[in-house]
Structure 1
Amino acid sequence: MRLIAASRRLALGALVCLGLALPSSLPAAAQGAPAGESTLAKIMREGVLRVGVRADYRPWGFRNPAGEFVGLEIEMARDVARTLGVRAEFTPVIAANRMQFLAQGQIDLMIATMSDVADRRRVVGIVHPNYYSSGFNILMPRSVNVTDWNQLRGRQLCAIQGAWYNRPATERFGVEIVAFTGIAEVETALEQRRCLGWIYDDNLIAVMLASDRWKDYHQPLASQNDTPWGLAVRLADLEGPFGRFMSGMVAHWHRSGALLRWEKEAGIAQSPFLKRMNEALRDHIAN
């Protein structure tokens, strides 16, 4: 309860500082959409926050047996909605369409395991501070024995279409990418040995290796290119009320330890990045 109360104070303070005029005397439906209305004002007027999330990226974002969205990133999105006092509406996205959905206005906010790289900043507004970090590695059958990335030159690796690490892996190590649109397709291809291994997020590979399904697989190589993750708003919103508000939310999650707690609840091994950010931003006087 203290975390929620603190989050609400943060939100209200941000709204006041940003000079956002919220509806007061008239019902939201009666006021219509003002010309030049900001995204944050629109969210508050409609009472809905539309968030693009992963539905296939356990345990960061996925559907439980009841069809509900759950995971670390879902907790983040729900906390934003709670803080604003609105309802969260989730739209499943994948790497190949998440930026397009945001840029075209189908969602207001994207929290979808997206790494913060330069070319993406030209398309969407990636909010700072970053909220997570990971590198890339390869999940392979235990029968495949490699000790160096250069041994993979010319070999075919399964991958998710649009993943940021496909390009550096190709350029640096000469691998051949066999891209698929969804995780289920890659899993099937890997199990059918249609590729040597699966190039993927190293955090998620660690989670997979803890399950019985992947007991005959391993991750024998050193991870590459540790890269922070960023949630995103539309490019035009980045320096506006909504982008600045979301920047405050991420800083608050680091400072309060909320991200560390959600990570633990999701069964993810503690991230050195989250630990560093919590130490850097936590309230040293209060603690």
Structure 2
Amino acid sequence: MSKKTLRITIAGLLFAAIASTQAAADALKDIVERGSLSVGVKADFAPWGMRDAAGNLVGLEIDLAQDFAKRLSKQAGKDISLNLVVVATANRMEFLEQGRIDVLIATMSDTPERRKVVGIVQPDYYSSGIAVLARKDSGINGWESINGKAICGIQGSWFNKDYGTKKGADMVAFKGVPEAEAAFLAGRCAGWLYDDSAFTARIVADPNKWADYAVATPVVADVPWGAAVRKDEVNEPLGAALSAAIIDWHKSGLISELEKKWHIPESAWVRSMHEKCLAGDKACASVREE
């Protein structure tokens, strides 16, 4: 490479770095100037994100997105409209990276791997864990009671061993969720070991179908859900504004109120975060402790 080419390459890299920094610093300013906020949400995970009979997007996370837009409007002194963009598990981080959305609130578990890709702000806003769904007359009423019973699961799930086999259950593993659900409903298993939020989604979406079933064990192995901005914006004004909103959602009890609104069973994690945020606990800080 010639010295001239090297200088051009270095200059290009520096320009790109400066442009990236400026874009991050101006993200919230851009939202205010255009008067709209784009938030990525789910449409297939009731009651956190779904469509009503009229086709409108509704749910707990949609309510949170609306609240955040109202907060930005108040902060800006002008109306900031909310543009809801439907995302899927497979593309939600990509939409954020590409700038197709400003913020992501879409049932995304907060993991170290995902924090390398997008800017998950602190604190987290919700959580889900592992539990067993069973018929109300199954005799399952806690983790110890699955001993000796056939329990449906998904092949490759890490919790099959820790919360199934080690509890004495006879794990019957299936290729995917549809197969496990069908086998469970057909009575091939006494219970179904899976994510509790998936159970809640089914019960809320089709209460008649699931009227004879209930979550029969305490929820364990909680994995919090994070809201995100682009990675280079997490410590910039937009990330800070989202973090402040989440802290207030916990302090005010808004998330607990929305659970009641959407008929979601009370989350012990949400209740704990409410108490921690009121007490000023570090779990409710806007900066993650690594």
Q: TM-score scaled to structure 1, two decimals?
A: 0.69
CA distance in 2, matches of 1:215, 1:270: 18
Letter in 1 for 2:131: N
* Structure 1 residue aligned with 2:245: 249
Task: Tell whether the 8 Å contact from 1:255 to 1:283 is kept in structure 2 after alignment.
Answer: no
Identify the match of residue 133 of structure 1 among 127, 134, 137. 127
Cα 1:216–1:189, aligned 2, differ >3 Å: closer, same or farther?
same
Q: Deviations over 1:37-85 (max 9, x none)?
A: 3321221122221111111211111110111111111111011112222
Consecutive unaligned residues of structure 2, counting only runs of 5 or more, are 1-18, 74-79, 166-170, 281-290
Q: Residues 34, 247 of structure 1: CA spacing in aligned structure 2 closer, same or farther, 3 A cutoff?
A: closer
Q: Is 2:231 the counterpart of 1:235?
A: yes
Task: Quote the Cα distance in structure 2 between the aligned partners of 1:156 and 1:199.
Answer: 6
2:119 partner letter: G
Q: Mean alpha-carbon deviation: is it higher for 122-131 or for 264-273?
A: 264-273
Change in Cα spacing, 1:266 to 1:217, as seen in structure 2 (3 Å) is closer
Q: Give per-residue Cα distances to partners, 1:163-221, cap 9 Å, x unaligned.
A: xxx643367468746346xxx89867865789997654314424644722113445445
Taking the TM superposition and a 5 Å limit, the aligned residue runs for 1:1-287 are 36-38=22-24, 39-85=27-73, 86-139=80-133, 157-158=153-154, 167-169=157-159, 172=162, 176=173, 178-179=175-176, 199-206=193-200, 208-209=202-203, 211-282=207-278
Corresponding residue for 1:7? none
Cα shift readout 1:88-114 (whole Å, capped 9, x = no counterpart): 111222222222222222211111111
Question: Which structure would you say has the larger Rg?
Answer: 2
C-alpha separation between the residues in 2 aligned to 1:267 and 1:212?
A: 14
Q: Which moved more, 1:64-73 or 1:191-200?
A: 191-200
Q: How many residues align?
A: 242
Question: How many Å separate the matches in 2 of 1:142 and 1:255?
Answer: 35
C-alpha RMSD of matched pairs (Å): 3.6
Identity %: 37
1:225 Cα offset (Å): 0.8
> Cα gap change, 1:193/1:99 in structure 2, threshold over 3 Å: closer, same or farther?
farther
Q: Is the 8 A contact 1:156 1:178 kept in 2?
A: no
Q: Normalising to structure 2: TM-score of the pair?
A: 0.68
State the alpha-carbon separation in 1 of the partners of residues 95 and 159 from structure 2: 26
Can you give the 5+ residue segments of structure 1 that lack an aligned partner in the other structure? 1-32, 160-165
Partner letter of residue 47 of structure 2? P
Deviation of 1:260 after TM superposition, in Å, equals 1.9
